[in-house]
Structure 1
């Protein structure tokens, strides 16, 4: 063999050794620069925190669909006009207060500012009603604040709790204990007012102005839990309440206006409870309407068809909604939650589209799925799995779900090269084994399974969109880097994302999905772990 032939053979062998696999080639197209570009927009103030159904979330949806269209990814949802779309439209329903106010002398008082309700009060039609002041609203063997007062069909105004005499004893019992304070005491007062025929109760709070603001905010937060979005319409609410009589807590300032006196006079009565308080008759108007609003939103999905095993589908998911703005008007941009998953999915779609264009498309099909309403109770993924699965669930191989992969938690401050994996062994031992092997072959991160423990009090396995697939016996992996100090706070911004770490985890998801999409046999479902 001559020297030229030997040189050619050596060069050929060297090239063969250096050649990358298709997976490595397209895995490396996922880079920090692209992730940063996408996330800088998705987590910008322009999108206003991407609350479910908001204009900001709709802008995010438009950005995602434009990216999919530019990549040549296939739309898979047929819309009402029969055209193919990237968006699976969803109508969500929200119960809440629609119009609520109290009008005193022509001045409208502000709900959850000047006053707040006790329970879920529904007064759908404005009512005009006379008010009656009944002191502390106590009626007992030794005390009767209702003496010579007619309250039937009227609104009772009373001061909360029970006053003490100069000796420091409660007035009605002349003792150190009282049945008229706190929640039990209020319930007793409500029952008395209801039994005497009162239509409403207004309780004067003893809190100062700052404390009353805090009470308003706390009560609003508590009651908002009953206003969560839902997939199904709720039953119409009746004009009823959760107490014996519709009751509101009011500020001292609002009470003074209702009583036709100065706030100073009211405070003097509170300081000297045995003194008489001369009030003026007044008539107020009140409305506190609860009703249901329809919120329009959408899951976004793009389909990349496989080759010889195209009827089997690997889903890669992330949620693109966040929590919007808070009561102070501060935007929660959600760069990590879940802007990181949203933009990782954009990069994954691009990597696969490049692979297919180069003749290296996956054997199984890939569905890139951006779900809505995760922050409202996993609603988008629930709609997909339980109501309208675009890909039949029995054809779904697995779901790889990405939610918060751009930061670190306190546990790993000394080692950024980790990722929590949740659910990988719950339904398929093969999925777990593949996941671990691919990690060793690629980024070789620490795989932390702390939150995979069924005894973990955080219950993260049930708290992101993969769970709606898992409950349908579809194997899942949830990629997560943990909770940090900016979780659901205004500080979750792009500047705090660790892009090197973030890009590597995105590459790991690509490599794992590549193996799942191209192996000869579909992974088995052979486990049922809690």
Structure 2
């Protein structure tokens, strides 16, 4: 009796109690409790979040990367603005590690000598080593445009030797509307192929200017700043249809190669590198500049355990008797990064769509907290084999101390969202009902609970995807799960794991419709008196 009276505040055993009990049975409770949050879910909000999460400036959110760190900071900022609380000892962050390639700091240096002027540049801020290109070198700098050789009607290198030189080149190829293939990046952007040719021409080292993406504005008109220079721990790998004819990257080169910022290139060359690059974009004409500047370069990498973070926060339940039980709502916020041609996998659908849906849900539930507590979790390293969610599900850091048994954990259910933005606007696919049959009824109730915009929920199809997203980390620990996705097959999205997975290819309406269904589902699971049984 105490739980019921606390649950709705004024559900007393009077004549009016019959209507109150009916509301509890439906899951609605007082009309304003769920409606206040539900009605905030909007396409405009989702788009605003996507412009921050799936921008090329975040460079594909590889695990780990500076872009991933920037996405994490954005999620935490939104948590704080919404009043969502940290749920663990580490605040909003849950750290874990993955095996990766890292910078060997003791072997890296970049020093410029111009006459009597000597300048030492800072690792991680001014320059980073290029993977598989370790070594030491010293020589005079020669600027060689984009370092392209062998292209039709374009050759930065000519037929000359550059023995003993350190080449300074721009990444990619000219951003010219018709030269090469216009906006489509070609094989001549391959940095390893450029470095191999420079090595063969006698260069002792190379500096590659990492260019900033074209200017992008947020929803409020603010120009998004580029992500600071960071080491590429891994390279983006696309689906086989996209990589056809694409040579594998060089495993090792004999000369050291480093990436530098436009500001450092300006200092070395003595002229504005951004302006020079823009001019070369416009003219698409090769340009070589000899200098009397000497560069001493050292690069080195090593195998390591690289740290990154899952991000999570809590909306605490309103019922004292149930607030110690949890529904986890999650999505992975990483993607596959950048390839060695410089093409960015923005990951708008995979999984910018699920990320912004989870963020929108967190903000909505902050206004409408249900009886049980809700954990909103954003996982890194999903693309590397569910590593982030596996670490999170193993520790459940919001419980305070790691649990050593599968039984007794107070997690009622986990709802996962991965790829929500392609396909028919009024359809969504959901996995998990075969393993959790009671969820069939839950989904039907959620669809009728309030208007979502969806007409069809596809269940029982797409089982080949069952072990390929973060819900599986919870399922294998006997936690009931549902997996929301746009379609029973990832091949229905032709841009899956390609650099064409961009915001303009998504349906914001479909994402919003699915977000509303997940809101209703989470509300029911966090409000119902009972809880789903363990998966079979």
Q: TM-score, normalised by structure 2?
A: 0.56
Indicate whether 1:30 and 2:41 are aligned: yes
Q: For the structure 1 residues 93 and 449, does the alpha-carbon distance in structure 2 shift closer, same or farther, using more than 3 Å as the test?
A: same
Match of 1:518 in 2: 527
How big is each residue's C-alpha offset from its partner over 1:329-350, in whole Å with a ceiling of 9 and x where there is no partner? 0111111111111111111111
**Distance in 2 between residues matched to 1:363 and 1:387, nearest whole Å:** 24
Match of 2:486 in 1: 481
Unaligned runs of 5+ in 1: 1-15, 80-84, 117-213, 224-247, 251-287, 356-360, 409-414, 454-458
**Distance in 1 between residues matched to 2:32 and 2:191, nearest whole Å:** 63
**Distance in 1 between residues matched to 2:481 and 2:325, nearest whole Å:** 15
Indicate whether 1:89 and 2:102 are aligned: no
Deviates further, 308-317 or 105-114? 105-114
SS at match of 1:407: coil
**For 1:501, which of 503, 507, 510 is the aligned residue?**
510
SS at match of 1:322: coil
Q: For the structure 1 residues 108 and 33, does the alpha-carbon distance in structure 2 shift closer, same or farther, using more than 3 Å as the test?
A: closer
Match of 1:340 in 2: 353
**Distance in 2 between residues matched to 1:215 and 1:112, nearest whole Å:** 18
Match of 1:398 in 2: 413
How big is each residue's C-alpha offset from its partner over 1:97-141, in whole Å with a ceiling of 9 and x where there is no partner? 7555799x979999964999xxxxxxxxxxxxxxxxxxxxxxxxx
Q: For the structure 1 residues 387 and 51, does the alpha-carbon distance in structure 2 shift closer, same or farther, using more than 3 Å as the test?
A: same
**For 1:375, which of 360, 377, 383 is the aligned residue?**
383
**Distance in 1 between residues matched to 2:481 and 2:434, nearest whole Å:** 8
Match of 1:44 in 2: 55
Tell whether the 8 Å contact from 1:113 to 1:216 is kept in structure 2 after alignment. no
Tell whether the 8 Å contact from 1:362 to 1:517 is kept in structure 2 after alignment. yes
SS at match of 1:390: helix
Match of 1:423 in 2: 432
Tell whether the 8 Å contact from 2:431 to 2:483 is kept in structure 1 after alignment. yes
Q: For the structure 1 residues 99 and 302, does the alpha-carbon distance in structure 2 shift closer, same or farther, using more than 3 Å as the test?
A: same
Q: For the structure 1 residues 57 and 431, does the alpha-carbon distance in structure 2 shift closer, same or farther, using more than 3 Å as the test?
A: same
SS at match of 1:490: coil
Indicate whether 1:300 and 2:311 are aligned: yes
Match of 1:283 in 2: none
How big is each residue's C-alpha offset from its partner over 1:80-110, in whole Å with a ceiling of 9 and x where there is no partner? xxxxx1111223221587555799x979999
Q: State the shift of 1:318 in Å.
A: 0.4
Q: For the structure 1 residues 430 and 101, does the alpha-carbon distance in structure 2 shift closer, same or farther, using more than 3 Å as the test?
A: same
**Distance in 1 between residues matched to 2:194 and 2:359, nearest whole Å:** 46
**For 2:477, which of 463, 472, 475 is the aligned residue?**
472
SS at match of 2:390: helix
Q: For the structure 1 residues 59 and 46, does the alpha-carbon distance in structure 2 shift closer, same or farther, using more than 3 Å as the test?
A: same
**Distance in 2 between residues matched to 1:476 and 1:74, nearest whole Å:** 24
SS at match of 1:521: coil
Indicate whether 1:318 and 2:334 are aligned: no
Instruction: Report the RMSD for the aligned CA atoms in angstroms.
Output: 3.4
**Equivalent residue runs for 1:42-441 within 5 Å:** 42-79=53-90, 85-94=91-100, 99=133, 113=193, 218-220=247-249, 291-306=302-317, 307-308=319-320, 309-355=322-368, 361-387=369-395, 389-391=397-399, 394-408=409-423, 415-426=424-435, 428-441=436-449
Match of 2:266 in 1: none
Q: For the structure 1 residues 344 and 115, does the alpha-carbon distance in structure 2 shift closer, same or farther, using more than 3 Å as the test?
A: closer
Match of 2:141 in 1: none
**Distance in 2 between residues matched to 1:219 and 1:516, nearest whole Å:** 48
**Distance in 2 between residues matched to 1:249 and 1:57, nearest whole Å:** 28
**Distance in 2 between residues matched to 1:480 and 1:387, nearest whole Å:** 26
How big is each residue's C-alpha offset from its partner over 1:447-498, in whole Å with a ceiling of 9 and x where there is no partner? 1235344xxxxx2110000000001111111110133121111221112221
**Distance in 1 between residues matched to 2:332 and 2:314, nearest whole Å:** 17
Match of 1:451 in 2: 461
How big is each residue's C-alpha offset from its partner over 1:366-390, in whole Å with a ceiling of 9 and x where there is no partner? 0000011111111110111235643
Structure 1 residue ranges, 4+ long, deviating more than 6 angstroms after superposition: 105-111
**Distance in 1 between residues matched to 2:525 and 2:429, nearest whole Å:** 20
SS at match of 1:298: strand
User: Which structure has the bigger radius of gyration?
Assistant: 1
Tell whether the 8 Å contact from 2:370 to 2:527 is kept in structure 1 after alignment. yes
**Distance in 1 between residues matched to 2:49 and 2:438, nearest whole Å:** 33
Q: State the shift of 1:438 in Å.
A: 1.4
Match of 1:460 in 2: 465
**Distance in 2 between residues matched to 1:340 and 1:219, nearest whole Å:** 30
